[in-house]
Structure 1
Amino acid sequence: MRLLLIEEDEMIGDPIADAMRRAGHTVDWARDGRGAEQLLKPDIYDLVLLDADLSKCDAIDLLLRYRRQGGRAAVIMLTDTPERRIGNVDAGADDVLIKPFDLDRLVSRVCSLLRRRNDPEGPVYSHGALVLDAVSNQATMRGQALSLDPFEFALLQALLEEPMRVCTRSELEERLPNDRGKQFGGDAIESHVQSLRCKIGAEQIVTVRGVGYRLSSME
């Protein structure tokens, strides 16, 4: 896949570019807003990694212009300003990653997003008796439809994408809908996980103390 990295800081950009190339992607790197304007054209890239905090270019304006021109590449915004997350998504970002982040986590998010974008049928995830269709927004347990609210659905999808990997609380929080804080405040993740357990079975979600959550094994 061909990726465009838009990042001014070489200490951040170098390891990201190396990690993406090791993952098998072709990477172009725009090191400032002017370079980004020249490279960010429709129908060239499969995915864009965009620093939301560019010094001489408004990243959101850049993304909005790209979408208006018909740009369809998946876009992951990289930001050290978490409160701007909603604006980034509204501008057309598919995902937002808060700095600092682990490179393996970024590679995983890139692979997951490309997989979702390039599946013409739409992604369907399964693990044991659990099945989730991300296009129809439906999930089943042993063939029975689950009644999940948007928070529970987002959590279940995040867990199903990599069922045996432990998802940290911060990762899961980033996957919740934008108004996540309105319902449960600071204990959002714990409350949503507990609610999801009530619907799919407490044994289905494993708590890894001090780290986060994963789905149970299928043994």
Structure 2
Amino acid sequence: MRVLIVEDEALLGQALAAGLRQLGHAADWFVRGSEADAAMLAAPYDAIVLDLGLPGGDGMEWLRRWRGRGVKLPVLILTARDGVDQRIAGLDAGADDYLLKPITIDELAARLRALLRRASGRAQPVWQHGALEYEPAAKRVRWKGQAVELTARELALLEALLLEPQRVLSKALLRDKLYDWSAAEPEGNALEVHVHHLRRKIDPGIVRTVRGVGYALGAPEPLP
């Protein structure tokens, strides 16, 4: 999951981004809504964490602007404004969830996972694809009932494919899902290496190559 964080408190913004990265997610942090707006046009985000008290334009106004423009990304408002009327206004403006500061990174990650499940139509805690089982909360993978140990990047790649099992994802899109702008420039064949490891650790047919386009999840193999 790649998350866009819009938060004007430097210490909090940095902490949120660092905490999500430690949990295996990609995260980009910006102070102003205008910066986030530009970033949204340049990267394929899965969710937005939005503060309301932003310099140069209130977060609520940016939320209304994005929804009016047809942006469908899940938005979680994170703010110190605890009035019921403000929470109602945020939800009515198009927010999908509303959290009051202070929060823990584990709760934020859990709320984001729930938003992503709803947005993708995967409400269940365990995602099933034939003989493959994946638990996003625990980052646990099983193949034919046996546990599979994957690195954070391999898990992120598998999750991106599982979220859209019928779609062929381009290499550029998958790289953008795996690496935020704080990460060092990945080696040219890094994505191919991750795909190779998934095939070796799970099954050769778990990822399908579509020449000239990218990768897709392989056909589900039935449980034994």
Q: Structure 1 stretches of 5 or more lacking a match?
A: 127-219
Question: 2-side partners of 1:113 and 1:76: how far apart?
Answer: 8
TM-score (norm 2): 0.51
What letter matches 2:101 in structure 1?
A: K
Find out whether 1:117 has 2:105 as its counterpart: no
Who is 2:214 aligned against?
none
**Which residues in structure 2 correspond to 1:183-194 (within 5 Å)?**
none
1:41/1:66 contact within 8 Å kept: no
Question: 2-side partners of 1:37 and 1:108: how far apart?
Answer: 25
Who is 2:95 aligned against?
93
Change (3 A) 1:10 1:43: closer
Q: Secondary structure at the match of 2:3?
A: strand
Who is 1:148 aligned against?
none
* Bigger helix share: 1
Change (3 A) 1:42 1:116: farther
Who is 2:71 aligned against?
71
Question: 1-side partners of 2:27 and 2:124: how far apart?
Answer: 28
1:42/1:71 contact within 8 Å kept: no
**Which residues in structure 2 correspond to 1:35-74 (within 5 Å)?**
35-41=35-41, 44-74=44-74
Q: How many residues align?
A: 124
RCO comparison, higher one (Cα < 8 Å, 6+) = 2
Who is 2:26 aligned against?
26
Who is 1:9 aligned against?
9
Q: Structure 2 stretches of 5 or more lacking a match?
A: 127-224
* Structure 1 runs, 4 residues or longer, greater than 6 Å off: none
Deviation at 1:40, TM superposition (A): 3.3
Question: 1-side partners of 2:92 and 2:81: how far apart?
Answer: 15
Deviation at 1:39, TM superposition (A): 2.0
Give the CA RMSD over aligned residues: 2.1
Question: 2-side partners of 1:35 and 1:42: how far apart?
Answer: 11
Deviation at 1:43, TM superposition (A): 8.1
Change (3 A) 1:40 1:62: farther
Question: 2-side partners of 1:107 and 1:123: how far apart?
Answer: 16
1:4/1:48 contact within 8 Å kept: yes
Q: Secondary structure at the match of 1:12?
A: helix
Who is 1:183 aligned against?
none
